[in-house]
Amino acid sequence: MTHSGSCLCGAVTYEVDGDFDAFYLCHCGRCRKDTGSAHAANLFSSSASLRWLTGEDRVTRFHLEGTLHARAFCSLCGSAVPQLQSDGSLLVVPAGSLDTSAPIAPDAHLFTADRASWDAGLERLRAFDGLPK
């Protein structure tokens, strides 16, 4: 199966060929800092291949020293984009960067003990199809 994706500004585009092994929503403090949100939503594959279509030269990589935590993002708009772990054994694809539908549903929430204090009962909030009027 082939999945396609891009960054917000469209400078970076990619394809992933293969299947995803897992889809996790991570609530750790590092992922919350990365995303500025309640959690990161990443797909993982140990067998799929990543092909940059455009903008590979615009991809910036950051590795938090002393940890396994790393991220890749478009240097123009800051959007998260796929990355291979340093040893190349695992592809991590931010679910929100996909232009095609995520082929699997999330498997689990991770690091829920680190969950943001405001990330509870969100399903009870009012919902709007667009901006509130």
Give me the domains of the chain, ranges plus CATH numbers.
2-116 (2.170.150.70)
pLDDT digits (tens, 9 = 90+) for 13-34: 999 999 999 999 999 999 999 9
Instruction: Give CA–CA dist 78/111, Å, rounded.
Output: 24
Q: Which residue has the tokens 């609530």?
A: 27
User: Sorting pLDDT into bands at 50, 70 and 90, what band is 89?
Assistant: confident
User: Sorting pLDDT into bands at 50, 70 and 90, what band is 88?
Assistant: confident
Query: Above 90 in pLDDT, residue 104?
Result: yes
Instruction: Give CA–CA dist 14/8, Å, rounded.
Output: 13
pLDDT given at position 87: 76
Q: Which two tokens stand for residue 48?
A: 């799929």
